Structure 1
């Protein structure tokens, strides 16, 4: 019984030499499959539309580029200066915003399609457009250097769209920063105007209080018959002169008090007598007239020009052909191997049936 098993085991096992012989006998089948895959790959490589890629390398602005944004923004003004990083982050946020991508899709991508292409799914078209546009870090060494890539079948269109997309992001970021600066200056000016108004109202009240105090002092001076300030010699004269206000105001004499009351009542403007008013007015005038022009601000830099590509990135013909040949070879060998094993099993079954 063991002898029978030993006799049949070699017939059941797969012989490598037999497999190689079987593959060699089917070499034309394998070559045919390879040729078929190579033909399909060649048709795809040479007949599919080429894809061109325009690139824009983006860097942060310099301190000089954002100088106009920081005009008047000092610690004394209670307005914190903008940093390069903050301004650049505003630009990157607008560059990567979904709203900008959607707007560009409607304004540029859809009008470039034919009526038949636009008849398809809008979501599908948007996904296709999102695949043509990518924004990512240019490399890991420079974490603030970004790369925008725009793909298109037309190299001129790829260049135009890349420039347009960056420009739209720039306009949005500049507008946001300028509006922030102008809004903060407007709020600051309004607060200063309120402080000036409060000081002026307080100045009027102080003037009325002073007139009331002088009238009381006048009544006292008239009651004691004091028209002129008394002549006091020695150190006492200096002490009295230094305290001729408040309760001792009447010592000035009725004539001097009457003249001061008349002068105060005829005063047309209290501004020169209000403390700190002029400083506030200067600040108010500065912030009221403060305005940043968008043309004077840069929120990013382009590292090199955005040129029209002259060489397509897809399809890579040589790579497509190599992959087609390899894939055809693998599938051809697999088919031939399957046929060899299938025929061998048929032969073994036939032999077993005869025995």
Structure 2
């Protein structure tokens, strides 16, 4: 019984020296497996299409590059000027918008695919675009963004970034210009309403003056006062200054008729309305306020978009190294497994009762 137990224990133990001998004995198998795995991995590395990545970093514009957006925007004009952050936020929002991605997918990405792939699931193709064209903030920076494109053609990767960036810039500029123009138009309409109110008030004041002068004319004619009375000394200037209101008739019927005729024949009261010309100048300024897209910038490029000259994957050297190591490990595992199975079968064939 003791001999049987000792043999069973020896059978379950693996001698490292014996294992090393077995591995050496099966070195051909290990080398063969290593070669097979390495060749398979190498075939993938050299036959798969290379993937190229183009990158571009974006950062906020300078204050000078957004100056035209703030032309005429002052506290006196009741229009708050745009900050660099305001303008940059509009651009980033458009850059990351779903509508722009969808438009780029329909106009650029989908037509670039082979005909057979274009007939596949649009959602899967769109998901592939989102994986290939990414926009993300730069780690450690709150206002710098990175836009990258991955394709099998290095020139296409650079073209994608250029085209996508141009589309985002055009849409964001159009939005900013619409905002500026709309606010200017609202301001111009408000001023025009003030001008119209002043003109109405001026017309009513003209009509009131005619009524008052006609009443004074009747009084002057009723008392036979054709010309203003001649008053000498200091009293003359005092009476002349008081020839308004109830004493208007003292101007004399002749002067009153001329004044009434002048008011009735007046075509416009604009020259006589206070502050009207200033308001007209302001309204004209806001009507003519326009921003040239070429004179403003919503972002700055940190560098240029360049065609990548080396693929980011497959990394052939790394894959070959992994193939060699992985194949070697797999070969060793297979060799040890064969050794263990053979040893186990040998132990089963021995009858312990004969020992």
Cross-structure match for 1:123:
123
Partner of residue 54, structure 2:
54
1:278 CA displacement: 0.6
Greater CA drift, 258-267 or 68-77: 258-267
Shift of 1:23: 4.2
- Specify the alignment match of 1:107 in structure 2: 107
Other structure's SS at 2:73 match: coil
Alpha-carbon distance, 1:282 to partner: 0.3
Which residue pairs with 2:151 in the alignment? 152
Distance 1:251 1:349, change over 3 A: farther
- Counterparts of 1:141-290 in structure 2, within 5 Å, are 142-227=141-226, 228-229=228-229, 231=231, 241-290=240-289
Q: Measure how far apart 1:182 and its partner are.
A: 2.0
Contact 2:220 2:249 (8 Å CA) reproduced:
yes
**Conserved in 2, the CA contact under 8 Å of 1:51 and 1:314?**
yes
Aligned equivalents of 2:336 and 2:229: distance in 1?
A: 131
- For 2:260 and 2:330, locate their aligned partners in 1 and report how far apart those are by CA, in whole Å: 113
Where do residues 14-33 of structure 1 align in structure 2 (5 Å cutoff)? 16-17=16-17, 19-33=19-33
Q: Call closer, same or farther: CA 1:277–1:229 in 2, change over 3 Å.
A: farther
What is the RMSD computed on CA atoms of the aligned residues?
2.8
CA contact (8 A) 1:57 1:145 kept: yes
Question: Any conservation in 1 of the 2:230–2:236 contact (CA below 8 Å)?
Answer: no
**Residue of structure 1 equivalent to 2:134:** 134
Inter-partner Cα distance in structure 2 for 1:69 and 1:116: 47
> Distance between the aligned counterparts of 2:15 and 2:197, measured in 1?
106
Structure 2 contact 4–353 (Cα < 8 Å) conserved: no
Structure 1 gaps, min length 5:
none
State the TM-score, normalizing by the size of structure 1: 0.87
The 3 A distance-change label for structure 1 pair 5 and 220 is farther
Structure-1 residue corresponding to 2:41: 41
SS of equivalent residue, structure 1 residue 269: coil
- In 2, Cα distance between the equivalents of 1:45 and 1:103? 34
1:70 equivalenced with 2:64 (yes/no): no
Partner secondary structure for residue 64 of structure 2: coil
Structure 2: unaligned runs, 5 residues or longer: none
CA contact (8 A) 2:184 2:289 kept: yes
The structural deviation recorded for 1:277 is 0.8
Q: Is residue 230–residue 251 contact of structure 1 (8 Å, CA) maintained in 2?
A: no
- Secondary structure, aligned partner of 2:65: coil
What is the CA–CA distance in structure 2 between the aligned matches of 1:196 and 1:178, rounded to whole Å?
A: 26
